[in-house]
Chains A and B, each alone.
Chain A
Amino acid sequence: MTQAGLDYAWPHRDLLGLEDLSAQDIRFLLKTAHGFEDVSTRSIKKVPALRGRVVVNLFFEDSTRTRSSFTLAASRLSADILELTGKGSSVSKGETLTDTARNIEAMGVDLIVCRHAQSGAAKHLAHAINCSVINAGDGQHEHPTQGLLDIYTLCKRWNLMDTMDLTGKSVAIVGDIAHSRVARSNIHGLQKLGAKVILVGPPTLCPGTFRSLGCEVSHDLDDVLPRIDAINMLRIQFERMTSQFFPSVREYATLFGLTGQRIKKARPELLVMHPGPINRGVELDAAVADGPQSTILEQVTHGLAVRMAAMFLCLNAKNRE
């Protein structure tokens, strides 16, 4: 073999979190995603790569974007897809997660895409069953495909698709870091590719303990804004907050919301990301969310390519075992 890199093989049958991946794994997955991107723009939006495979979407939490993205990604790869939700299934009759998954697996399933409110649920599942597992969000732990599509979006906007080396770039993640699986996946992924990560939020939602992950922690958005290349504005997850973490939504918006006025303190080329769904007027102003610096809709588009790549590589790795 004369071509460099051909001796590399994607080693993971499951995608549980970016913490488990090497920089080389992340770059290989994103390069593979680049090859999948054009499938969504042609007249026949389908390739036969996973023909005859069965993918199950097993979602125990509400989701629109991620779930439909996985469904569409699977169908563009010609896989069959089965949709299951926690509500209205045997789970509400008291069946355990493992039992549910084993029963689904017994139907001859190749891949389970799982979202669950419990951190570690995907890993638990991966140990319990033989088919591949992709984590579509587990509690406050990780949401690896979101982290990957965020990094993919940055690499594309920065013209770094060749190297995917983010050395010298600074990315701020703002908001409810403590409850956020998106933040954890981004922290691991961005740092592995060389970027500096700055976490910003009120001390109750952005505690200093995150410094142990190698991040800078700040409680002052205006101080951070002028020195970053991209900012990822997280949604305030009211559904995950069991007590009061800040005095009022209005105060939070005043201190940590990104408005058309505040963004003027940043570099003009600053990229604004958001994993969706947006609380308009809280973490993002309409003017910023819909402005030229916003990558929000690109992130959704890239999510498809990244999820196609993740399914393709995990199933392929299982195949090679």
Chain B
Amino acid sequence: MSTMTTLADSSKIASLVSELAGQINTAISANESTHPWAIVGIRSRGDLLAGRISEQLDSSVIEERLGVLDITLYRDDLSEITHQPVVRTTEIPFDIDGMNIVLVDDVLMSGRSIRAALQSLMDLGRPRRIWLAVLVDRGGRELPISADFVAVDLKSQQLDSDTIIDVHLTPLDEQDCITTHPKQKGPTK
């Protein structure tokens, strides 16, 4: 607990968000605009991130297409987890068929959340292409998944699985920051 370190403060996060938005804008202009774009964030911090990124995207392309995805029902560990899963609403008020979807999450690690999100999106329709944007890629993949847009890339640091990266975003958290701390040792591994 005492070894918590801050990797980024709120002003740093603002510039990281702008960087992500810049990468996405480049991709949008490099791809023909015959297929519309939309941005979808994964609860409960990817949705906040998606909201902030969307403000800096080319509004004529993305229009008002901002969605929120709750992946609880698609998790692959539902029969194993020991805490209470909290089901929230999925709110994607547009048809995703044929769209370029930018999927947004805060931290990419094992890739299991993204797998769940992909399955959930496929059940909602058939997007033309799904892109992945993450604030932090901390490495440690357990599935063949990679991000298209990354603001902080920690893959080369080869962090061990006991190192936790937490993204804090307002209004869900008190302040914007990215912190790292060792995993608390519990009774189970």
Which residues from chain A sit less than 8 Å from chain B, CB to CB?
2-3, 5-6, 8-10, 31-32, 34-39, 42-44, 46-49, 52, 77, 309, 312, 316, 319-320
Contacts and interface: CB of A to CB of B under 8 A. Distances in A.
Nearest to A45: B123
Contacts, number: 63
Contacts of B174: 2
B78 A316 contact: yes
Contact of A44 (B79, B82, B87, B124): B124
Interface string B112-156: 000000011001110000000000000000000000000000000
A36 B84 CA distance: 16
A239 to B, nearest CB: 37
Nearest to A317: B84
Nearest to B91: A38
Given A35-B87, A49-B78, A42 B172 contact: no
B65 interface: no
A42 B173 CA distance: 32
B172 A3 contact: yes
B89 interface: yes
6 nearest A-B residue pairs (beta carbon): A35-B87, A9-B84, A47-B73, A49-B73, A44-B123, A32-B87
Contacts of A48: 73-74, 119
Nearest to A10: B84
Given A44-B124, A49-B72, A320-B83, 12 more contacts: A2-B174, A9-B84, A32-B86, A32-B87, A34-B89, A35-B70, A36-B87, A47-B120, A48-B74, A49-B78, A316-B78, A316-B85
A316 B83 CA distance: 9
Interface in B31-63: 44
B82 A320 contact: yes
Interface residues of B, number: 26
A42 B73 contact: no
B26 interface: no
B118 to A, nearest CB: 13
Nearest to B166: A2
B74 A47 contact: yes
A309 to B, nearest CB: 7
Contact of B123 (A5, A32, A42, A312): A42
A319 B79 contact: yes
Nearest to B80: A319
A2 B168 contact: yes
B82 A312 contact: no
A148 to B, nearest CB: 15
Contacts of B168: 2
B84 to A, nearest CB: 4
A6 B43 CA distance: 14
B163 interface: no
Interface in B60-103: 70, 72-74, 78-79, 82-91
